[in-house]
Amino acid sequence: KEPTHGSENVSKHSSQKVTDKKKEDEKPGKPATASSTTSRVSGPAMATATLMAMDRLAGAAALPAEGRPGARNNPIPVEDSATLGKIGRNDSFPMDAYYQQKRSFSHNTSVPVGNDTTPFQGYYDGGCHTISDLKDCLFYELGFGAHVKNLRIANTTIDQPDKQHSAVLACEMSGGSVVSGVRVEHGNVSTRQGGKSAASTAGVITGLQGEQSVLKDIEIVDCSVTTSGHNTYTGAGAGWVDGDIERMTVADSQVTSTGDSASAAIGGGLVTGRIKQLTVVNSQVTTTGKNGNGAIGGGQVGRLHPPANGQVSGLVALNSHVNTTNNLAAAGIGAGFVANEHSEVNGITAIDCSVS
């Protein structure tokens, strides 16, 4: 139960590994068994090949066939909160189907789509409509192949002190998932979870963004993220950025951490992936704990143990401010602390900004 880079600080279930293997097995043209040959195949090898073939067939059967509800050419309409709440909880609303939101509605619930063992692996097109009044993450986890696009989320207040990963859109994003064309406004996330053995993450879009996942064309307006636990990563885009963030704008927002060893940033508290083309306007980052690195960009970019590189590039900050107030707490525009020589920060423009 480790994250992509094998950190000993953030627990992660193994569903992504299982799913990734399943996707690899399902690639078009991949033979179900060994190629025809005169060589004999051992009993265990034949059994393994048979199980792999059965696994592929089971996966294919789970996807709605063309023309059926939930197929690519016939997405399931989502017109209200009740329908959204059926995803993954009703056989007619599977977790790997295609969905199309038809109108804006309030979803005043603290029950996310999916859970820690069953991630959403489908396609959700918000149709540029709005979901409002969330009390917890909209999706518990976006699994391999999931894509959420063209969605607006507004007026959310999320206070889940016991959750390890918290956010507005998705508590976690596994590798191979994508979020694009999403705007979050008037959103507030707060958490007090954290400890020496397991880091916690909090963000607006996602708490923990896995390797090879993507956030692109994101807007965050008038939002705040606050953590008070020890050993936390807090960010506007993601608490921990291990994938890619491309073209994100953050305005009138605040990121705050008050615990020790708690990095915070507009962008990502910890960046072991890449942040490219980030625009930040009228926003603030504040840390008050020991080792509380803060930044517009990445609070900590890269990591020494286990080794991982990070990158922040193409950042423009206007009238934005970083303040750290305790020992061993670095602060900067671009990065607070760059952990190793292979990580990089470049292309930074700051206008009417301050660091203290």
List all residues 6 or more positions away from 37 whose beta carbon is below 8 Å from its beta carbon. Answer: none
> Would you give the DSSP letter of residue 234?
E
Backbone angles phi, psi at 142, to 5 degrees: -95, 115
What is the secondary structure of 89-144 as a DSSP string?
TSTTS-TTSEEEE-S-EE---S--BS-SSS-B-SEEEEEEEEEE--SS-SEEEE-T
What torsion, rounded to 10 degrees, do the Cα atoms 310, 274, 285, 307 define? Answer: -20
List all residues 6 or more positions away from 28 whose beta carbon is below 8 Å from its beta carbon. Answer: none
List all residues 6 or more positions away from 38 whose beta carbon is below 8 Å from its beta carbon. Answer: none
Give pLDDT tens digits for 61-70.
356 777 788 9
Give pLDDT tens digits for 261-278.
999 999 999 999 999 999
pLDDT at residue number 10:
53
pLDDT at residue number 64:
73
The angle at the Cα of 133, spanning 129 to 137, to the nearest 5 degrees, equals 90
- Of 12, 278, 15, nearest to 146 by C-alpha is 15
Backbone angles phi, psi at 24, to 5 degrees: -65, -40
The Cα-based distances of 40 to 36, 45, 54 in angstroms read: 10, 10, 21
**pTM listed for this prediction:** 0.82
Structure tokens at 233: 């990563």
pLDDT at residue number 222:
98
- Cβ atoms of residues 212 and 245 within 8 Å: no
The set of long-range contacts for 60-67, using a CB threshold of 8 Å and a minimum separation of 24, is 60/26, 62/94, 62/96, 63/96, 63/97, 64/94, 64/97, 64/98
What are the helix (H) ranges across 169-258?
A: none
- Tell me the torsion sign for CA atoms 105, 159, 208, 252: positive
pLDDT at residue number 331:
97
pLDDT at residue number 41:
43
pLDDT at residue number 251:
98
pLDDT at residue number 198:
75
Residue-averaged pLDDT of the chain: 86
Q: What is the mean pLDDT of each run of 10 residues along the chain (356 residues)?
A: 43 44 43 38 48 42 71 96 96 96 96 93 98 97 97 95 92 96 97 75 97 98 94 96 98 96 96 98 96 96 94 98 95 97 97 97
pLDDT at residue number 194:
63
